[in-house]
Amino acid sequence: MYATLFSFEPLHIALLSLFGFMALIQLFYYFRFYRRAARYKSEERKGSNGFPPLSVVICARNESPNLQAFLPSVLEQDYPLFEVVVVNDCSEDDTDIVLDQMQKKYPHLKVSTIQQDTHFSHSKKLPMLIGIKAAKNDLLVFTDADCKPATDKWLVSVAEGYGRGADIILGYGGYMSRKGFLNRYIRYETLFTGMQYLGMALAGRPYMGVGRNLAYRRSFFFEHGAFGPFNHVQSGDDDLFVNRTANKSNTYVMQGSTSMTLSVPAEKRDAWKRQKRRHYTTAGYYKWSDKIRLFLEPFSRVSYYGLLIFFLITLISWPVVAGLGLLRLLVRSVIFKRTADTYNEHGLFFFSLIFDILQPLVNTTLYLTNRRQPRGNISWK
């Protein structure tokens, strides 16, 4: 016999209260944080004062094909005053030849080279530091060799942030659309992560950035001890620096399709898992307040779906449960769709209904299995 809406058994009341609480937590995240990433407002600066000189820094290791394909889109930005610094980090392919040829065509391309040393290994932080020191401008912009700006107005979007006095500028780094289930999941997870870190930054709680689309002042970088206490961590050249130094007053968020970059997605599951493994090495170094916020959302989501399935199967208090479920679905769908439109992430909506359930389970599994892996050096490429 199933309980009805008017059943008052203590266990039913406790479970229904827990379900309502989890649903409220979910709605809190969507209204407090995630909706902000969907609200695009451009404030493009005009005139010579609106275009300060910029230095774009790119680290490359064995990236010859990607440099040939994507570096021109950085070098040909519609922006009057900028240079591009590429750090060739121990490449064993023909990266040096590609860069030498491009320097002949693009005089604002500067190259620094790190030679291979069999007795010394290093993380991405070393080429990053070399690129930062080689840059002639204080206002820096970072992206990767396998990335391209979505439009030729990318640096204009960066300049908007610097023009507003920001020390740190966060942008969305998406992945190129390809066929297949894995590509859709990668793009969904990237968009959802963007909703998190951009939305929280817009709410005054910045906690991370992505090296595919990040900017900060060189003077700010060195004033705050460069990579500081996390210099020994193999990864985290982007998110840990932001987590340690960013706050409501010094951080600006770029929004809209002109401000984003696109990267080459992993095509095989193993490559994607290695990429995720690198990302997980930094999570333990976040501030405790950020850890709690990042844990509470997926925990409440798993609990919400688990209780939702239980109630729908047993028909316990189904009108209340169905009402809360429809409300959460409507809020989530509207905010996700608007965010996807803002960043040109099309074709994900219906898959996202499934991924919304799977994501916390997949991430938990990968995180737990990653902890069992050896703690040796994790190459940044």
For 307-342, the pLDDT digits (tens) are 999 988 887 777 889 999 999 999 999 999 999 999
pLDDT over threshold 90, residue 85: yes
Task: Point out the domain boundary residue: 218, 239, 269.
Answer: 269
In terms of domains, do 55 and 196 share one? yes
Residue ranges making up the domain that contains 83: 44-269
**Bridge pairing between strands 82-89 and 54-60:** parallel
In terms of domains, do 262 and 302 share one? no
Q: Is residue 147 part of a domain?
A: yes
**Percent of the chain clearing pLDDT 70 (strictly above):** 92
CATH code, domain carrying 249: 3.90.550.10
pLDDT over threshold 70, residue 8: no
From the list 89, 144, 84, 85, the residue with the least C-alpha distance to 114 is 89
Q: Identify which has the larger pLDDT, 52 or 5.
A: 52
In terms of domains, do 67 and 198 share one? yes
Q: Is residue 275 part of a domain?
A: no
Task: Name residues whose C-beta falls within 8 Å of residue 126's C-beta, 6 or more positions apart in sequence.
Answer: 89, 114
CA-angle at 339, arms to 338 and 344, nearest 5°: 100
Q: Is residue 175 part of a domain?
A: yes
What CA–CA distance (Å, rounded) separates 68 from 82? Answer: 20
